[in-house]
Amino acid sequence: MLKYLVPPFIVLFLFGFSFDLSDKTLLAENKEADFKLYSKLNSEGDMYEGFYIEYKGRQCFFDYKNVTNPSFYPEVVYDDISGDGKKDLVVINTLGHGTGISAKEVRVFHEVFFDGEDFLREKLVESPIIAVHKSKTYQRLIKQGPVYVGDDQIYFQVVDHKLTAHVGARKNQYNIGDFTVTYQFKNDIYQLKSIHYRPSK
């Protein structure tokens, strides 16, 4: 199922709440941002479900998921990707991996100073699948036959202070190239700035 806008808009005002972290696993942290991300295995033991976040001494919970392989634990990037001179928190989590599969999600949080306290505000990120579908290159490719781009061939990066998404394109189960979507922060949303297609050699 395609995600048109991810993630939902959320403001973290959950200070005063406290979680028992003794039965949870630390999956990622960023010491500069004073940010830690914990989670707990689901009943089947095949996925971490629920993100317990500590940010500057306060705690909050999100119903996010990640695979259990330590090589694919969430990645936390602390960088100014909005261009406002303030560093943002980017959390890249993995929902699936394997041969030809890279299913990633991205969550972007802006730090907000309110009433003498620092808080995190989650910002919308436009789906890279939608950006690809709207591109002229994709429209030209599908004229030559069906082309598949989906959630199982996505990974995100922060490159030169810009959020980017890489989306694989397949035809008849073969990889035919990759789209690179570069985002800009505009109208309170991370949305398409540019898109580039690189065909497979």
The whole-number pLDDT of residue 1 equals 33
Q: Which two structure tokens, joined as six digits, stand for 24?
A: 């949870």
- What is the three-class DSSP state of 146? coil
How far is CA 94 from each of CA 27, 123, 141, 144, 145, rounded to the nearest angstrom? Answer: 12, 19, 28, 32, 30
pTM: predicted TM-score of the whole model, two decimal places: 0.86
The pLDDT value recorded for residue 102 is 81
Residue 23 in contact with residue 40, Cβ under 8 Å?
A: yes
For residue 61, give the nearest of 116, 127, 1, 120 by alpha carbon: 120
Q: Give pLDDT tens digits along the chain (201 positions).
A: 333 333 344 444 444 567 788 889 999 999 999 999 999 999 998 999 999 999 888 888 888 999 999 999 999 999 999 999 999 999 999 999 877 678 999 999 998 766 556 678 889 999 999 999 999 999 999 998 899 998 888 999 999 999 999 999 999 888 999 999 999 999 999 999 999 999 987
Q: Which of 51, 189, 33, 192 is nearest to 123 (CA)?
A: 189
Distance CA 103, CA 92 (A): 10
Per-residue confidence (pLDDT) for residue 41, from 0 to 100: 94
89 CB burial (10 A radius; 0-12, 13-18, 19+): buried
Give the model's pLDDT for residue 11.
43
Residue 112: the pLDDT is: 77
